[in-house]
Chain A
């Protein structure tokens, strides 16, 4: 979403690159292209685009990602 951005620095997204096994599923499920693969590891390339939908968290096989929004 290049032309529509929401508030910066609010997302609760955390990626533990140590735990990443490089499956790249997060880059597939994220609807905002927050992740990119670099040297077989996932990297957060657009943190502020994260809308905390939890798709990456659900599908990460090594629990390397977390989001913890409030009740919303």
Chain B
């Protein structure tokens, strides 16, 4: 295989290269000796992605070969994305990639174009030769994209055709992650593209064993898990998405806290506002962090009730810590109800993130708890204002 495409006939696949946002980044180099082996692939206005190792020539053009190792920048950006920063723009170009030294008999692994997903897959493929077909899921992971309809039969068939895979491999099969099945109909893919869908394991780290085992998945590979780490790693985003509404809520709290005998008092707004702010913070911490992390250890199957249980503990803690600033039963009750309601609502919100809640169940829970949460919120606000007089 010719690994060095000639400069003139260079036909760089659009996958693996990003358009540069600015031409200024190209610096002129007076040295005639090429300082890096990747110089062969340079093209004005384009920048090579750091995960591309080289290109290989196939009957369907040059295909980028990606590295199985994650670089420092991959790890840094994974961290940012886990914190919810720019997570919808964290993508790789859809199309065909290679890993290792694949030939015409190697398997085609299908995945999503969320970079976190892409990285997660490639880091498990050390010493494996395969083709990787990245679908355009708009930067969403396989399962969510399958549910939303971007990881779909249509998109898979389109990519199979667009990338001319039939020229790259001699067989007619693609391995689709099992969780993609929500958006894929194996039968329709076969009908429309001629390619047979084999459902691979749920987790990328089972792929080597799956391939070794003649593409048969053990029962364990077919079941989703949601262990402590898997729950914990999702919580920064849970907290991040409530930051903005929380800030608005906090402002409203400070205003409400100022109402009193003298109509409005700034000193009261500040003193009482601080107390209600901590009630809010405790509710968020309990509902968006503690409840998700400790999920199976908290009694009840209803998330809203789990949130009430955890929230009660944190509300009581806030009341104990702030006891000198809180006076009277009405005030205590207002703080307690408010904090617990926030926790309950956010815990219920977490149903959308877990891999085991059914939409019908969530609907049932929401119909039951949203009215309760609203009533609690109204009572708590009423008590808070009343207690100022």
Which residues of chain A have a CB within 8 Å of any CB of chain B?
1, 3-8, 10-12, 25, 28-33, 49-56, 58-59, 61, 69-72
B349 → A minimal CB distance (Å): 14
The DSSP consensus for interface residues of chain A is loop
CB within 8 Å of A: which B361-375 residues:
361-365
Across-interface contacts of A59 in B (CB, < 8 A): 181, 184-187
Across-interface contacts of A54 in B (CB, < 8 A): 147, 182
Size band of the B side of the interface? 35 or more
Across-interface contacts of B358 in A (CB, < 8 A): 6-7, 10-11, 50-52, 69
CA distance A69 to B146 in the complex (A): 16
**Contacts A29-B178, A59-B181 hold; do A5 and B359 have CB atoms under 8 A apart?**
no
CA distance A25 to B178 in the complex (A): 11
Contact B356 A55 (CB under 8 A): no
Which residues of chain B have a CB within 8 Å of any CB of chain A?
146-147, 178-179, 181-187, 199, 202, 217, 219, 222-226, 295-296, 301-302, 351, 354-365
Name the residue among B178, B295, B360 with the largest chain A CB count within 10 angstroms.
B360
A-B contact count (CB 8 A): 100
**Contacts A6-B357, A6-B358 hold; do A55 and B187 have CB atoms under 8 A apart?**
no
Across-interface contacts of B351 in A (CB, < 8 A): 6
Question: Can you list the 9 inter-chain pairs with the closest CB atoms, starting with the nearest?
Answer: A72-B359, A55-B181, A69-B359, A29-B181, A7-B361, A10-B361, A31-B224, A52-B358, A10-B360
Contact A1 B181 (CB under 8 A): no
Across-interface contacts of B219 in A (CB, < 8 A): 33
Contact A61 B187 (CB under 8 A): yes
CA distance A69 to B222 in the complex (A): 23
**Contacts A4-B295, A28-B222, A31-B222 hold; do A70 and B360 have CB atoms under 8 A apart?**
yes
Across-interface contacts of B296 in A (CB, < 8 A): 3-4
